[in-house]
Amino acid sequence: MSRTWNFAAGPAAMPDEVLRQAQAELLEWRDARASVMEISHRGQAFMALAAEIEADLRALAGIPPHYKVLFLQGGATLQFPLLAMNLARPGQRADYVLSGHWGDKAAREAAPYVEVHIAADARASGYAALPPRADWQLDPQAAYVHYTPNETIHGLEFHQVPQVGDVPLVADFSSSILSAPVDINRFGMIYAGAQKNIGPSGLTLVIVREDLLARATRPMAAIFRYAEHAAQDSMLNTPNTFGWYLAGLTFQWIARHGGLVAMAARNGRKADTLYAAIDGSGGFYRNPVAPGARSRMNVPFFLVDPALDGRFLAEAEEIGLLALKGHRALGGMRASLYNAMPQEGVDALVDFMCDFQRRHG
Ligand code: PMP
């Protein structure tokens, strides 16, 4: 067994306990006499499992009854257009707040279906700071306001839910879902690809306020329509049953380990450990993001001399610190510290960084 500390941004590390449980029940799940991925999604056993998983998630995240929970496919990328098609009427305008790569992508992909208005854009700061709330040009008539609470590539995070008045707030929580408690009532819709904090890729979570489902009036295929997925309990077509099951195991794992309050405390401590090491390195390592906007989930950092990057990555990998290469758009390094990454993994990374600096600084 040579599992390592995996700092991948997604698909990302999953909790060992979850993988072991899945391994133990892989051939025979409960009394199905088959694997959970070999049984009908419409059979009683899987339908019951899906209901349990939804109930567990509702309890974990405090999802009120007037929100629908959908387990879909197509990733967050499919939600970029779908949310516009479902939440805006043709010709309506929607406000987008850009704090990095993914918010920008969300706006571009929505543009064929809604009049996209960029209400704020932190591009001028090189995405090193959040756009100050006072500068947002919000339209009270907008169909919704979209933002990205955690930017996975640029490493920026909103640590508070922004106030946007009565316009429904829509958030791409792909890289920070379930990492801390969030008041769902503040949102019209939340969505997230599963492959960072929930489970394997190929599953997408959508949490949407029920009254907003009636907005989808334009002609579109059933599979594009959130109301249809809700009416059919996310079984409009064959779902990713194995991913759904693994998400359920992860929800139970989070609950066993103290729920979202405990996750937030662990995640805060992990991030503090790594940022302290970066900031305390005398400039050998550098994170460009304004301290109040720094992500707890994704920490990009740069070595003082990029010529050392290759050596840093090779030495890290040799001692079992994986997937630290930064996103190709930024270069440098990136450590993703999702729920499944324990403090020991971050401590091992920081020890290595100090040692590397001693030898090459
Ligand atoms: N939004 C964010 C914040 C992301 O981090 C990602 C993937 N890294 C996406 C959207 C795109 O997700 P997917 O690949 O699941 O479509």
Answer yes or no: is 124 within a domain: yes
Do 218 and 175 share a domain, yes or no? yes
Indicate if 66 and 149 belong to the same structural domain. yes
Residue 307 lies in a domain: yes
CB of 148 closer than 6 A to ligand 1? yes
Q: Which domain holds residue 35?
A: 17-256
> Does 352 lie in the same domain as 204?
no
pLDDT at 72 over 70: yes
Could you report the per-residue pLDDT of 163-188, keeping only the tens digit for each? 999 999 999 999 999 999 999 999 99
Return the pLDDT at 333: 98
Which residue's CA is minimally distant from atom 2 of ligand 1? 174
- Identify whether residues 173 and 266 lie together within a single domain: no
Same domain, 56 and 70: yes
What is the band of 194 on the pLDDT scale with cuts at 50, 70, 90? very high
Binned at pLDDT 50, 70 and 90, residue 156 comes out as very high
**pLDDT greater than 80 at residue 357:** yes
At residue 332, the pLDDT reads: 98
β-pairing, 150-151 vs 169-172, is unpaired
Cβ(75) – ligand 1 distance below 6 Å: yes
Across residues 271-283, what is the average pLDDT?
A: 98
Q: Is 79 in the pocket of ligand 1 (CB under 6 A)?
A: no
Task: Return the ligand 1 atom nearest residue 74 CA.
Answer: 16
Q: List CB contacts of 34: < 8 A, sequence separation 6 or more.
A: 28
Asked, for residue 8, whether it belongs to a domain, the answer is: no
Chain position carrying tokens 């516009």: 84
Q: Is 253 a catalytic residue?
A: no
User: Considering 256, 274, 290, which residue would you say is the last residue of a domain?
Assistant: 256
Residue 239, both tokens: 């779902």
Percent of the chain with pLDDT over 90: 98
Q: What is the pLDDT of residue 183?
A: 98
User: What is the three-class DSSP state of 360?
Assistant: helix
For residue 356 the two structure tokens come to 């590397």
| Other Cβ atoms within 10 Å of 305 Cβ, number | 11
Mean of per-residue pLDDT scores for the chain: 97
Residue 336 · residue 9 · CB < 8 Å: yes
Atom of ligand 1 at shortest distance to CA of 173?
3
Question: Best substitution site from 80, 151, 174 to test ligand 1's pocket, by max atoms within 8 Å of Cβ?
Answer: 174
Same domain, 243 and 265: no
Tokens of 279: 């900031």
Which residue's CA is the closest to the ligand 1 atom numbered 14? 75
> What's the mean pLDDT in 270-287?
98
In a domain, 122, yes or no: yes
Instruction: Give the torsion through C-alpha atoms of 15, 16, 18, 24, to 10 deg.
Output: 170
Q: Of the residues 79, 102, 196, which should be mutated to test ligand 1's pocket, given the most ligand atoms within 8 Å of the CB?
A: 102
Cα-to-centroid distance, 126 and ligand 1 (Å): 20
CATH number at residue 337: 3.90.1150.10
Give the confidence band of 253 by pLDDT, cuts at 50, 70, 90. very high
pLDDT tens for 77-117 read: 999 999 999 999 988 999 999 999 999 999 999 999 999 99
Protein residue with least CA distance to atom 10, ligand 1:
76
Give the E-state strand segments of 122-196 in sequence order.
145-147, 150-151, 156-157, 169-172, 189-193
Residues 200 and 178 in one domain: yes
Residues 225 and 288 in one domain: no
Amino acid at 198: I
For tokens 């959508």, name the residue.
206
Give the tokens for residue 18. Answer: 């979850």
State yes or no: pLDDT of 1 exceeds 70: no
Position 3 confidence tier, pLDDT thresholds 50, 70, 90: confident
